[in-house]
Chain A
């Protein structure tokens, strides 16, 4: 009986998390277009429904009814499987993100923990899946039999290798501080007010994480794999219809995930910034923090131009990686001297 209840609980949590994630991905595309519009002193989409709120659905309908094209010279198996890899990994990361504390269902003693899975190597799982997600882009570009796609996927591979290193090193500081890979414990470690958040102990790591995260997302200033002006959309040039939509959704789901991981590691997860405000549920705080980071991602996209390829490589290897190592050394030194 206990097992059945547990199964039901897990299924309900999966459905809710998946639904919320997909809905937020749909509206993130609208939010991005609206915010970019306002940054450029225009409105953005505002024709479909009030304030353009139905735009994501009309986009989805459009994507469904487009012709699904597979180029004749493409490697069909890889071509079909690449968008699936992208979307599955992007959604899969969300399984370990804790988006709230636990609560007891009234009338019973059944404790519901607000996370799908509480894995004790959560952080490792996240980085494993995140680098797997890049395979979707690399395979998608190289299997489409197009030179732009191939160039895009090569760039994606090079960028992944250069920035994943700094990304991993920037997070190790947090692991040293909280002495665990379990995300729940990392969040609990930061409880009791915003002065306990890891961002104050690891500011350099936070900035490095954001920069490398943006590079992992392949967003402007680091959108080399799909540089519109020179590669004509890069790795997804041959994709159409729902396959393209899957890549698109994967990119935005990945964006939510990077923001959620940043919130968990550096901004105290579901913890409220002031102990007085503890009566507001943790999920709300989590969503607010994620929203702020998502706004930052859109904001910086509307501000910065794309870097040149050699500049990206130089920045990754000669600036970010040494900074991450120095930050790691200093953190280790301070922790060991304490």
Chain B
């Protein structure tokens, strides 16, 4: 009975002198996993604009129907999203939009820390989605 107790004491003493395995969260962060699906971002084309051609496939495939697109054509006859809105509060981060996109415009990012006090900032338009790119090198 006494030997196991001493063994237990030895174990805790070893643990006491070993380095803590805690991650000091706000200062150090563990990167999310490879297959982690976070907030979406838009890929830019060579002109610095969005690659999106406003085909509407993401809007159709989205199970929570959080994407809405208004289509327009520019002077060269190229289709582009006049108003692309992704409601991140409704998004379930399933990644179907990324899979459905035929031109590789929308991708699932790695961002998982996103806090705000209003709903407005959670509605992502084209500019914000392009801006999200910088968090996903």
Q: Which residues of A contact B20 (CB under 8 A)?
A: 37-38, 41-43
Residue-wise interface mask of A (5-40) relative to B, using a CB-CB cutoff of 8 A (1 in contact, 0 not): 000000000000000000000000000000101111
Select which of A37, A42, A43, A299 is within 8 A of B12 by beta carbon. A299
Distance between Cα atoms of A39 and B9 in the complex (Å): 10
* Nearest CB in chain B: distance from A52 CB, A: 12
Select which of B5, B13, B17, B21 is within 8 A of A42 by beta carbon. B21
Interchain CB contact under 8 A, A38 and B16: yes
Q: Is A300 an interface residue (CB 8 A)?
A: yes
Residue-wise interface mask of A (261-301) relative to B, using a CB-CB cutoff of 8 A (1 in contact, 0 not): 00000000000000000000000000000000000000110
Q: 4 closest pairs, A vs B, by CB?
A: A303-B12, A42-B22, A303-B8, A39-B12
Residue-wise interface mask of A (149-174) relative to B, using a CB-CB cutoff of 8 A (1 in contact, 0 not): 00000000000000000000000000
* Nearest CB in chain A: distance from B134 CB, A: 30
Interchain CB contact under 8 A, B22 and A39: no
Distance between Cα atoms of A216 and B15 in the complex (Å): 27
Interface residues of A (CB under 8 A from B): 35, 37-43, 299-300, 302-304
Distance between Cα atoms of A304 and B9 in the complex (Å): 8
Q: Is B118 an interface residue (CB 8 A)?
A: no
18 inter-chain pairs at a CB distance below 8 angstroms, sorted by A residue, are A38-B16, A39-B12, A39-B16, A41-B15, A41-B19, A41-B21, A41-B22, A42-B20, A42-B22, A43-B24, A299-B9, A299-B13, A299-B16, A303-B8, A303-B11, A303-B12, A304-B5, A304-B8
Residue-wise interface mask of B (10-37) relative to A, using a CB-CB cutoff of 8 A (1 in contact, 0 not): 0111011111111010000000000000
In the complex, which residue of chain A has the Cβ closest to the Cβ of B17? A38
* Nearest CB in chain A: distance from B3 CB, A: 14
Distance between Cα atoms of A39 and B11 in the complex (Å): 9
Distance between Cα atoms of A35 and B12 in the complex (Å): 10
Q: Which residues of A contact B19 (CB under 8 A)?
A: 41
Distance between Cα atoms of A118 and B128 in the complex (Å): 77
* Nearest CB in chain A: distance from B4 CB, A: 11
Interchain CB contact under 8 A, A300 and B15: no
In the complex, which residue of chain A has the Cβ closest to the Cβ of B14? A39
Distance between Cα atoms of A41 and B13 in the complex (Å): 11
Interchain CB contact under 8 A, A35 and B22: no
Distance between Cα atoms of A304 and B17 in the complex (Å): 18
Residue-wise interface mask of B (92-116) relative to A, using a CB-CB cutoff of 8 A (1 in contact, 0 not): 0000000000000000000000000
Distance between Cα atoms of A302 and B13 in the complex (Å): 9
Interchain CB contact under 8 A, A43 and B13: no
In the complex, which residue of chain A has the Cβ closest to the Cβ of B8? A303
Distance between Cα atoms of A304 and B12 in the complex (Å): 10
Interchain CB contact under 8 A, B22 and A43: yes
* Nearest CB in chain B: distance from A294 CB, A: 14
Distance between Cα atoms of A41 and B12 in the complex (Å): 9
B window 52-107: CB within 8 A of A: none
* Nearest CB in chain B: distance from A47 CB, A: 10
* Nearest CB in chain B: distance from A32 CB, A: 13
Q: Which residues of A contact B16 (CB under 8 A)?
A: 35, 38-39, 299, 302
Interchain CB contact under 8 A, A300 and B9: yes
Q: Which residues of B contact A41 (CB under 8 A)?
A: 15, 18-22
Q: Which residues of B contact A42 (CB under 8 A)?
A: 20-22
Q: Which residues of B contact A43 (CB under 8 A)?
A: 20, 22, 24
Distance between Cα atoms of A48 and B137 in the complex (Å): 35
Q: Which residues of B contact A304 (CB under 8 A)?
A: 5, 8
Q: Which residues of B contact A39 (CB under 8 A)?
A: 12, 15-16
Distance between Cα atoms of A304 and B1 in the complex (Å): 13
In the complex, which residue of chain A has the Cβ closest to the Cβ of B6? A303
Distance between Cα atoms of A29 and B11 in the complex (Å): 23
Distance between Cα atoms of A299 and B17 in the complex (Å): 12
